Structure 1
Amino acid sequence: MTIKSYTMVLFCVASLSVSAVARDQIKIVGSSTVYPFTSYVAKDFHIKTNHPIPDVQSTGTGGGMKLFCAGVGLDTPDLTDASRPMKLNEYETCVKNGVTDITGMKVGFDGIAFAQSKGNAEISLTREQIFLALAEEVPSKDGTSLIKNPYKTWNEIDSKLPNRKITVYGPPTTSGTRDSFEEMVMEHASEHFEAYGAQKGKYKAIRQDDVYVPAAEDDELVVRALTRDVEAFGIFGYSYLEENGKKINGTLIDAVSPNFETISSGKYPLSRGLYIYIKNAHRNQVSGMDAFLKFYMHEKMVGNQGALRKIGLVPMHSDEYKEVQKVVLAKTKLSEEMVKKNTILP
């Protein structure tokens, strides 16, 4: 064998060895709402198993999907947290980039809180009132046309509401919380106004005149804003309301208070599921990934008496929990049909 040939063999062997080396740290991106739950699990997983602590980043649901769907390879995330189901266009991007084997894992439920500083009197708002406060365009007084939103105080919308400046701190457009809010409040409420015509039931444009203040992908920033700006309201996941109950309280929405019982039963109008999407191609390449998923899905973590309930997660009912466990353990492949139905179950 010539020196040149021997060198080539060594190079090939070295290349195969490098490519066979699995990453030993799990990479997770996505929702700021799911972030505190996944971070808690990651730390406990590290303590209990001695695996390296997973790297969990809060990028927002939309931002996480972009990173997750960019391709398969150890330079891409293994999991992405999501505070809403994966959208069809995100699924199509994943498939286009070779991320074709995905499993969805439901973590539990959360509610979107519309909250205020603790010093304010309790207030009850309808989704229509919130819509009129935040929509870019609203119906004219005679209800026949749309006009640029003129409302500056809540009592201008309804005389029964307080004479209080309308300021709302909420998530940016990359956030799954924003997506859910637009669907459950904006689109829902627009259905009740004939002036939207063809956009009725679909209108979700939020005003951009500083009444709605987008915060970064960190719900803690919204909580802090409410302690400074006591007239303002904030939009974030229920877990942050639970965690900061001494500083803020939740607004009643359509006369229903956000709490564990109303969210788990679906009675609270802004209830939603929380998810993690799994890149199955990485499960044999990333050390501890399957162990982490089993650890996350254990009843001691996401069950009725689980650790995550104590920090604001609303657990699934027993039957759904068992179905989700089966899907995750079987590596059930997410299909286009499942995505269209907003489910991770076949």
Structure 2
Amino acid sequence: MTMKAKILALTAIAALTACQQPNSLPKPAESSEIRVVGSSTVYPFSTKVAQEFKNITGHNVVVEATGSGGGHKLFCNGSGPGTPDVTNSSRRQKKSEYELCKKNGVEEIVEVKIGYDGIVLANARNAPNMDMSLRDIYMAFAKNVPISDTDCTLRPNPHTKWSEVNSELPAIKIEAYGPPPTSGTRDAFVEIAMEGGAKEISCLADLAETDEDAFEVAAHTLREDGFWIDGGENDNALVQTLVNTPSAIGVFGYSFLDQNIDKIKGARIEGIEPQFENIVAGDYKVSRSLYFYLKKDNVEFTPGLKEYALEFTSDQAVGEGGYLAEIGLVPLRGPERTEIREDVKQLRAYSQ
């Protein structure tokens, strides 16, 4: 090989080596679709937004109903391509879940409240009408109940009929199909309805002040003797179970009652019906906030992710008269809605 040929060969090798330096490596592959996991209660709202967003932009959004707890676990498993971009939740993210995210490198999370939902106890349209107090709910579904209002010695729940809980309720079997432990609806139900009912019993109210852990065990532990049945995350299947079993009660989000009002009806809670106006006004006692959580790091890898979140928080989606209100979402007030949309625009991470 001539000297000139050697020089040309060395020049080519140097150029190739320069192209292989770390700052020239290709970026990680982009995700081809937006992936959403989480709450079965938020699922129909998220699915509706996904459909509208695809019609507008062409971006594909895949929504899975894994339950709130299952969604946070998947969401917090890491960031980047191949991990969920969003998790829906029918409760606020727990501190332990937030810390799991941090541990796994999910450093910046945008918390987005989308509206409100009522937790309903519903039965078939041809079943007896129900009007129950929070105390009735606790006494029907707690695994162990006090001997009396003044004696908090706990005993296995002896009640088998609603009339044994409250003589004004029908003499039919207590049979409830409710959400499983992974569900945010289950968390909200025990925290709002069961705790609220337990505090109607004077000795348990005292216990809540003196021993919070013991009170939580008494208030949160549901029956395991067949009178409470974990119904899974498929609320549509639960509606069909109620139609086929008129003596049964189902526990789920208001939107499913709203969408199936021709098949089922909601129980009154302390005289108040689970209706849109009553939830907005705060009169219906068993209600909660709904959320989704956005992984800020994934905006870089997932085309359309920020735009999806902006569509979800737009007035045409979550505003009064928006397309999500039409399927049962109870909207936020205007100023709060504006503030939350600004958080999304700025991708403002929250902290606990």
Query: Is the TM-score greater than 0.5?
Result: yes
State percent identity of aligned pairs. 37
62, 72, 76: which one pairs with 1:69? 76
1:34 and 1:83 in contact (8 A); partners too: yes
Amino acid at match of 1:185: A
Verify: 1:265 aligned to 2:284, yes or no: no
**Residues 1:34 and 2:42 aligned together:** yes
Task: Show the 5 A alignment for 1:16-165.
Answer: 16-17=25-26, 19-51=27-59, 53-141=60-148, 143-144=150-151, 145-165=153-173
Partner of residue 245, structure 1: 261
Letter in 1 for 2:41: T
Q: 1:149: how far off?
A: 0.6
Q: Counterparts of 1:291 and 1:175 in 2: how far apart (Å)?
A: 28
Distance (Å, rounded) in 1 between the aligned partners of 2:20 and 2:228:
58
Following TM superposition, by how much is the alpha carbon of 1:12 offset from its aligned partner in structure 2, in angstroms?
6.9
- Is the CA contact (8 Å cut-off) linking 1:107 and 1:274 kept in structure 2? yes
Query: What is the CA RMSD across the aligned residues, in angstroms?
Result: 2.1
Q: 1:255 to 1:77 in 2, by over 3 A?
A: same
Inter-partner Cα distance in structure 2 for 1:163 and 1:122: 12
Answer yes or no: is the 8 Å Cα contact 2:123–2:265 preserved in 1.
yes
For 1:304, the equivalent position in structure 2 comes to 320
User: What amino acid is aligned across from residue 294 of structure 2 in structure 1?
Assistant: I
Unaligned runs of 5+ in 1: 337-346
Q: Higher mean Cα deviation, 186-195 or 303-312?
A: 186-195
Mapped contact 1:188–1:201 kept (Cα < 8 A): no
Q: In the alignment, does 2:183 pair up with 1:167?
A: no
Task: Note the alpha carbon deviations across 1:11-55, whole angstroms, 9 max, x for none.
Answer: 7789933x433112001000000000000110111112122x201
Q: In terms of Rg, which structure is larger?
A: 2
Change (3 A) 1:150 1:8: farther
Q: Matched residues in 1 for 2:24 and 2:263: separation? A: 56
Task: State the Cα distance separating 1:154 from its structure 2 match.
Answer: 0.5
Equivalent position SS for 1:169: strand
Which amino acid counterpart does residue 44 of structure 2 have in structure 1? Answer: P
Give secondary structure in 2 for the equivalent of 1:183: helix
Count residues in correspondence. Answer: 334
The range that moved more, 59-68 or 139-148, is 139-148
Distance 1:285 1:142, change over 3 A: closer
Unaligned 5+ segments in structure 2 are: 1-8
Structure 1's 13 and 223: CA in aligned 2 closer, same or farther, altered over 3 A? same
Q: Report the equivalent of 1:344.
A: none
Q: 1:232 to 1:74 in 2, by over 3 A?
A: same
**C-alpha separation between the residues in 1 aligned to 2:17 and 2:158?**
73
Aligned-pair distance for 1:77? 0.5
1:216 CA displacement = 1.4
Please name the residue that 2:245 is paired with. Answer: 229
User: Are the structure 2 counterparts of residues 223 and 15 from structure 1 closer, same or farther at C-alpha, using a change threshold of 3 Å?
Assistant: farther
Any conservation in 1 of the 2:149–2:203 contact (CA below 8 Å)? no
Q: What is the Cα deviation at residue 207 of structure 1?
A: 0.7
* TM-score calculated relative to the size of structure 1: 0.91
Cα pair 1:146 1:195 within 8 Å, conserved: no
Instruction: Tell me which amino acid in the other structure corresponds to 1:64.
Output: G
Which has the higher mean CA deviation after the structures are superposed, 142-151 or 121-130?
142-151
Give the structure 1 partner of residue 6 of structure 2.
none
Equivalent residue for 1:290, pick from 306, 328, 336: 306
Q: In the superposition, relative to structure 1, how do residues 9 and 314 fare at CA in structure 2: closer, same or farther (>3 Å)?
A: same
Q: Secondary structure at the match of 1:90?
A: helix
SS at match of 1:20: coil
Q: Is the 8 A contact 1:113 1:237 kept in 2?
A: yes
